[in-house]
Structure 1
Amino acid sequence: MSDVLSQSEIDELLQALSAGELDVQDIKEENKEKKIKKYDFRRPDKFAKDQLRTLQIIHENFSRLLNTFLSGYLRTYINVEVISVEQLTYYEFSNSISNPAVLGIINFKPMSGQVILDISTDIAFTMIERVLGGTGKLVKEVRSFTEIELTLLKKIIIKINKLLTESWENIVELNPSLDKIETNSQFAQIVSPNETIALITMSIKVGNIEGLINICIPHLVIEPIIQKLSTKLWFSSNNKEISDSEKKALQVGLKKANVEVKAIIGESTITVGDFLNLQVGDVIPLNTKIDEDIKIIVGDKLKFLGKPGLKKKNLAIKITDLVEEGDE
């Protein structure tokens, strides 16, 4: 921001102009001079802001998929969020990794090259503890991973790979595979130290334990598809119409889904003492009449009304009415 001239400075400037000591044309020419922008050749900007934004959208989708998968796989509370997406040199990334580490070297097929999935050791030990049936309580100790622990981590990372395929599907059809797991960053040199990378940093919480997951994507790996990393292309891909074959596949998948269906014949309230003393032949009065329709619950919603009966000596329910949404 330019400095504000005082009244005395303004008077001096006007006096210099009127006396011919200062030429207005010289001032204009000075303003036309090109401004110099600093550029660090050691850290070239190979990713545009729009491309980094698209990478963030891709991995926000990935974080939601990872959240759902780990919640079921580890049977505990999971929270995964994207913190930042930035470009660095590979040297800066590898130099920030502490040992021991959990570095999944992933072959990013059909792209030519590898990416790194870096999981903090606290989270890795907690996931192993949960898989083995423990509470997931973190024990503060610095040690290397055993062969059994690395095998368990390998299985988890292989499953995470499948989530990468789904999150990148709008850009490219990936078929990633885990090459190996390294616990020392010195043995995970996938590109030259000065190569530019995109570093996606995600925070993860497993139960009460917090940590980080980093995904290191070298520019060389995704250079063939770098032009597709634009938010405009991403949203246009998201809004494409579903084909008839995709609709049919969705219908087939829905028909195979298992849904819990239960018929509520009636309800009653009794004491714990009466419940403990129930005998064969005892009668419990319900809050429904004999000729009244019973409720049929699909999932957790009331969907039908029906009459109980028999079909070929089997207990059955005959649906008599459909309950529209909002009529419950």
Structure 2
Amino acid sequence: MAGEDDDDLAAEWGAAMAEQVGEDAEAMAAEWAAMLGGPAAVDDGGRKSPDRVLNQEEVDGLLGFNPHELGLNSQSGIRAIINSALVSYERLPMLEIVFDRLVRLLTTSLRNFTSDNVEVSLDGIRSVRFGDYLNSIPLPAILSVFKAHQWDGFGLMTVDSALIYSIIDVLLGGRRGAATMKVEGRPYTTIETSLVQRMIEVVLADAEQAFRPITNVNFSLDRLETNPRFAAITRPANAAILVNLRIDMEDRGGFIEVLLPYATIEPIRETLLQQFMGEKFGRDATWEGHLATEIWSAEAELHAVLYDKKLPLRTILDLDIGDTLMLDVAPDELVEIRCGDQVLTEARMGRAGDKVAVQIARPLRRSHTTLAAFEAAGESRKDA
């Protein structure tokens, strides 16, 4: 009797546990379906619940951002993909000074060119890949390819459509305060291209003056393009310096972007690494001039040597009072004029008044090592 009761109780407990496990499995499946946004997400009333929205932590994890570290050390997710396309910018302090000087020169030149109140500002200098920049140029725009003759390289200058139409309005007498002209998608006319070309030539002339304190370079306009594919001046993966200049003419204006590949500015890279204008990395002409002046005014002691002979130490130690040393020279032989251990020339011995004097008989023996020889030796060491 007791055994039958135990069997009934065990069967009842087993049925209850199976029912509970089934309910837990269904609840877990519903929770997973809700997280995945699937059709199995059902609420208590049997209706489908709306798609689950990711919280901020899940979004940050997907994008690779860390809100505590501002994502500076995180290289996961989409951020790692984005950072792989970035270009490390080598800071060139002198280049920033050059373009700051260009801003001041352009402000005056464009005021004279347009007879209007023009303000030029430097929006920034950054490093980009050439291919990425070409793909990011908003069209329509005019792209001018210019050549730097002394550097044997090319650069690119982009004038956006807003500045193009602003310059045309100013030069052709357009009214101030008019609404911004909408871009029609048509190609630029010959008159419009010619006016923009004149402005680009003004910018290139000021760029030459801006670079003049550190190097002499001539910029010449090579061609104008409206299609970025025809304005390629280097490989798409090559790095370049992009300078953004903003031109404001009261209520109108636009941007000029100057792009210089690193290969173009490589000949003056050491100069652009200077912290300030005139910083010296090697030969200093001022110090050379000062040293030469001091050498010319220095005093040197000369000796007239009648006879020089080497004797054994034993002979010198055996000398006594009354001993005679024979000088193997004739009375009319020349004496050596020395400065330290160096023999400068030879002279004849004589008398001037009550003093013994010498008369220079041969030219000075000049050193064969000159400044040019030192420079040539330095160049050979660099080549080696």
The reply to whether TM is greater than 0.5 is yes
Corresponding pairs, count: 202
1 CA distance for matches of 2:223 and 2:237?
23
Q: 2:114 aligns with which of 59, 74, 97?
A: 74
Query: Which residue pairs with 2:195 in the alignment?
Result: 152
Q: Which of the pair has more CA radius of gyration?
A: 2
Answering whether residue 98 of structure 2 is matched by residue 55 of structure 1, we say no
Give the structure, 1 or 2, with the largest relative contact order (CA under 8 Å, sep 6 or more): 1
Q: CA deviation at 1:145?
A: 0.7
What amino acid is the match of 2:235?
S
Q: 1:177 aligns with which of 206, 220, 232?
A: 220
**For the Cα contact (< 8 Å) 1:196–1:219, is it kept in 2?**
yes
Query: Which residue pairs with 2:182 in the alignment?
Result: 140
Cα-to-partner distance string for 1:183-203 (whole Å, 9 max, x where unaligned)? 111211111100000011122
**For the Cα contact (< 8 Å) 2:122–2:244, is it kept in 1?**
yes
Q: 2:248 aligns with which of 172, 191, 205?
A: 205
CA, structure 1 residues 233+57, in 2 after alignment: closer, same or farther (shift >3 Å)? closer
Which ranges in structure 2 are unaligned for 5 or more consecutive residues? 1-72, 287-384
| 3-state SS, counterpart of residue 191 of structure 2 | helix
Query: Which residue pairs with 2:147 in the alignment?
Result: 107
2 CA distance for matches of 1:231 and 1:134?
45
2 CA distance for matches of 1:42 and 1:74?
40
What amino acid is the match of 1:190?
I
CA, structure 1 residues 223+43, in 2 after alignment: closer, same or farther (shift >3 Å)? farther
Q: CA deviation at 1:141?
A: 2.5
Q: CA deviation at 1:151?
A: 1.4
Q: CA deviation at 1:235?
A: 4.9
Q: 2:261 aligns with which of 209, 218, 226?
A: 218
| 3-state SS, counterpart of residue 275 of structure 2 | helix
Which ranges in structure 1 are unaligned for 5 or more consecutive residues? 1-34, 242-328
2 CA distance for matches of 1:202 and 1:184?
21
Query: Which residue pairs with 1:188 in the alignment?
Result: 231
| 3-state SS, counterpart of residue 188 of structure 2 | coil
Cα-to-partner distance string for 1:277-299 (whole Å, 9 max, x where unaligned)? xxxxxxxxxxxxxxxxxxxxxxx
| 3-state SS, counterpart of residue 234 of structure 1 | coil
CA, structure 1 residues 173+41, in 2 after alignment: closer, same or farther (shift >3 Å)? farther
Q: CA deviation at 1:43?
A: 5.0
Answering whether residue 172 of structure 2 is matched by residue 129 of structure 1, we say no
Query: Which residue pairs with 1:322 in the alignment?
Result: none
**For the Cα contact (< 8 Å) 2:87–2:127, is it kept in 1?**
no
Q: CA RMSD in A?
A: 2.7
Q: CA deviation at 1:229?
A: 0.4
Q: 2:126 aligns with which of 86, 95, 101?
A: 86
2 CA distance for matches of 1:182 and 1:169?
28
**For the Cα contact (< 8 Å) 1:90–1:197, is it kept in 2?**
yes
**For the Cα contact (< 8 Å) 1:168–1:174, is it kept in 2?**
yes
| 3-state SS, counterpart of residue 256 of structure 2 | strand
Q: CA deviation at 1:72?
A: 1.7
Q: CA deviation at 1:82?
A: 0.6
Superposed counterparts of 1:242-261, under 5 Å: none
2 CA distance for matches of 1:224 and 1:41?
28
Q: CA deviation at 1:120?
A: 1.3
**For the Cα contact (< 8 Å) 1:43–1:196, is it kept in 2?**
no
Q: 2:204 aligns with which of 147, 156, 161?
A: 161
What amino acid is the match of 1:119?
V
1 CA distance for matches of 2:202 and 2:245?
18
Cα-to-partner distance string for 1:179-223 (whole Å, 9 max, x where unaligned)? 111111121111110000001112211231132111100001011
2 CA distance for matches of 1:108 and 1:82?
22
2 CA distance for matches of 1:164 and 1:105?
14
| Stretch of structure 1 that moved more, 126-135 or 106-115 | 126-135
Q: CA deviation at 1:41?
A: 7.5
Q: CA deviation at 1:57?
A: 1.6
What amino acid is the match of 2:187?
S
Query: Which residue pairs with 1:119 in the alignment?
Result: 159
What amino acid is the match of 1:80?
V
